[in-house]
Amino acid sequence: GEHFGEMRDDLNVMSDLEHGLIRVLHPKSFIDDPTRLFRAVRYAQRYGFEIAPETLALIPEALPFVDKLSPARLRHELDLIFEEEDSVPMIAQLADMGVFQHIQPALPWGEGTLARFKNTCAEYSHTRRAASSQVERNRDCRWMVWLIGLTAKEIRALAKRLHFTADLSKKILAASSIFHELDFFKDIRPSQCAARLDSLPEDSI
């Protein structure tokens, strides 16, 4: 009729867009689907938005439900974050919310991990138009930067929890083994260094 083509905005979305706010549609939204926690953070950081205060207040109640997500869904949401141009603020905000403790307590966070992310991830910065192979490589490198300080046992437990591919598990384990042997590399000959590293993935080195 005479209203054809007019925008209907029953949920006041245009106001939220104008004010840069991320808001869920109902109080049980995060409980119904905890992956929305990851998406809320990802979109807020990507676009420079804020999560609405009443939406933030719903997060603590929903955190125990993160543990109920399947490994594939959890890893997919984290992969999407690591495919962003700047994933560091997203990971930092999720850590501040306490999300990681409900995925796996061994997931590291702290000043050392944050510094490692900031110092390293800039090298793997890219736009979302990058070739898929480069996006995948950048993503894997960010996983390595995050987990490099863990032990092999902790990495294998996480690989099982998050269904890492065999290739990604191999890369993270290799990076971790080098990281924990840094003192070994200080005084050895180049031939010894090459012998130690030749069998390891280049990205891990």
Q: Could you read off the pLDDT of 52-63 as tens digits, one per residue? A: 999 999 999 999
Mean pLDDT throughout 177-195? Answer: 91
pLDDT band at 107 (very low <50, low <70, confident <90, very high): confident
**What local confidence, expressed as pLDDT, does residue 197 receive?**
94
Q: Which amino acid is present at 107? A: L
Exposure of 62 by Cβ count < 10 A (0-12 exposed, 13-18 middle, 19+ buried)?
buried
pLDDT for the residue 36: 97
Rg, the chain, Cα only: 20
153's tokens:
């046992």
Give the per-residue pLDDT at 135.
82
Of the chain, the percentage scoring pLDDT greater than 90 comes to: 73
